[in-house]
């Protein structure tokens, strides 16, 4: 059952969308490329980070660059733990792996790692906005 919907200016809605992407990333349906699941993991981390921006009333660029987003949070005075910085490893899944020929196929271990990183970022974001995980 889907979670309660909130307006777009509510960080809980951004976190809902992050959790939705994370759920997609975890389910390997026959015929679906691991690259596509890793993109969903990247999107989960991205939307979770943006939930933190929304929570603090900060503007953010609509980019897939997680390193840039995390740096902007730090520049605004918010601490970003090293384990959240691991989200930067998801960068290649935002564009490079989504198109044929730009990278090699994603291995299962890479998929598991991407999902693990995304889960960590979503939990961190939930704590930042005051949600129980």
pLDDT in tens, 7-36: 999 999 999 999 999 999 999 899 999 999
Q: Please indicate, yes or no, if residue 46 is contained in any of the structural domains.
A: yes
Domains of the chain: total: 1
Write out the residue range of the structural domain in which residue 99 sits.
11-128
Model confidence pLDDT, tens digit, residues 94-113: 988 888 878 889 999 999 99
Looking at the domain assignment, is residue 1 inside a domain?
Answer: no
Residue 4 forms part of a structural domain: no
- In the structure, what pLDDT confidence band is assigned to residue 66 with cuts at 50, 70 and 90? very high
Inform me whether the pLDDT recorded for 3 exceeds 80. Answer: no
Residue 6: inside a domain: no
Cα 33 from Cα 58, distance rounded (Å): 35
Best CA proximity match to 3, nearest among 65, 42, 51: 51
pTM summary value: 0.94
CB atoms within 10 A of CB 60: 16
- Which residue blocks in the chain are alpha helix, DSSP H? 11-26, 34-55, 66-75, 82-85, 91-94, 108-128
Residue 71 pLDDT class (50, 70, 90 cuts): very high
CB atoms within 10 A of CB 49: 25
Integer angstrom CA distances of residue 20 from 23, 39, 73: 5, 13, 23
Higher confidence at residue 69 or residue 99?
69
Query: Tell me, what CATH number does 105's domain have?
Result: 1.20.120.330
Would you state the structure tokens that stand for residue 4, as one six-digit string? Answer: 């309660």
């Amino acid at each position: 059952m889907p979670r309660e919907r909130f307006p777009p200016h509510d960080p809980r809605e951004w976190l809902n969308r992050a959790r939705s992407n994370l759920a997609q990333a975890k389910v390997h349906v026959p015929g679906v490329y691991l690259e596509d699941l890793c993109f969903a993991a990247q999107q989960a981390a991205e939307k979770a980070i943006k939930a933190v921006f929304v929570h603090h009333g900060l503007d953010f660029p609509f980019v897939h660059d997680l390193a840039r987003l995390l740096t902007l949070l730090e520049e605004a005075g918010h601490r970003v733990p090293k384990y959240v910085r691991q989200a930067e490893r998801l960068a290649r899944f935002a564009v490079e792996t989504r198109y044929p020929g730009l990278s090699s196929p994603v291995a299962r271990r890479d998929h598991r790692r991407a999902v693990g990183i995304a889960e960590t970022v979503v939990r961190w974001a939930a704590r930042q906005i005051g949600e129980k995980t």
